Each structure stands twice: as structure tokens, then as C-alpha cells.
Amino acid sequence: MRKQMDGLALLAKDVIRQDPLSGALFVFVNAQRTKLKMLVWERNGFSVWYKRLERHRFHWPRSGDAVLTLTGEQLNWLLDGYDVWRMKPHEALYFPVLS
């Protein structure tokens, strides 16, 4: 998860052979499946989003292909902790407010 915008764009271009300027959303996950980054080109620049789970792991799709297409709804489920194929979510976490 050390790569920033340019490194992620190079992964999209060179590893999965997709155009990073196409407007597609590219999602990358670390080996432990506890962190993910999303990269998208928006008209005049890249945007990157980052999410780290405090517990559990992302239910990352198991596919032999480097490219997997998800619907917007499936992406939201994945980000919310659902196993897209089994529809079982992570438990919701609540932490006390520190003052």
C-alpha cells in the first residue's frame, strides 16, 4: 500500500493492461486484505480513496483474471464488508468517543 497515484496508474496500465485515464475505477488491496485504495481519473486529475479496516478483512473476489468488473452496488457491498458472493457482512464496530 505504498504506491500513490502515479504508481497505481502504472499498475493499471502495465499490470492489468487497462487505460488509467478511461474513467474506470481501479481498486487495489494489500496482501492481508485489510487496506484498499481506489483510483479514478476525473476530467483533469486522479482521485485516490483509502480505507483501512480496524478488524476483519475485505472479502476480496477470488478470480484468475487480473480484471474483475463489479456493479456499483457490489462495490458498495464490498466496501461495507460484505462477501459479495455470500452476502454476509462484517459486524459493525463502535468505539467510545475520546474527549
Q: Tell me, what's the pLDDT at 79? A: 86
Number of structural domains in the chain: 1
Q: Is residue 63 part of a domain?
A: yes
The pairing of strands 45-52 and 26-29 is: unpaired
C-alpha cell at 24: 474506470
Q: Is residue 86 part of a domain?
A: no
Q: Is residue 70 part of a domain?
A: yes
Q: Is residue 60 part of a domain?
A: yes
Q: Is residue 19 part of a domain?
A: yes
Cβ-contact 20, 14 below 8 angstroms: no
Cβ-contact 37, 8 below 8 angstroms: yes
Which residues of 9-60 form beta strands (DSSP E)? 26-29, 35-42, 45-52
Q: Is residue 96 part of a domain?
A: no
pLDDT (tens digit per residue) in 34-79: 999 999 999 999 999 999 988 888 887 666 656 778 888 888 888 8
For cell 481498486, the residue is: 27
Residue 10's domain comprises 5-79
pTM, two decimals, is 0.76
Cβ-contact 37, 45 below 8 angstroms: no
pLDDT (tens digit per residue) in 80-94: 877 766 666 667 777
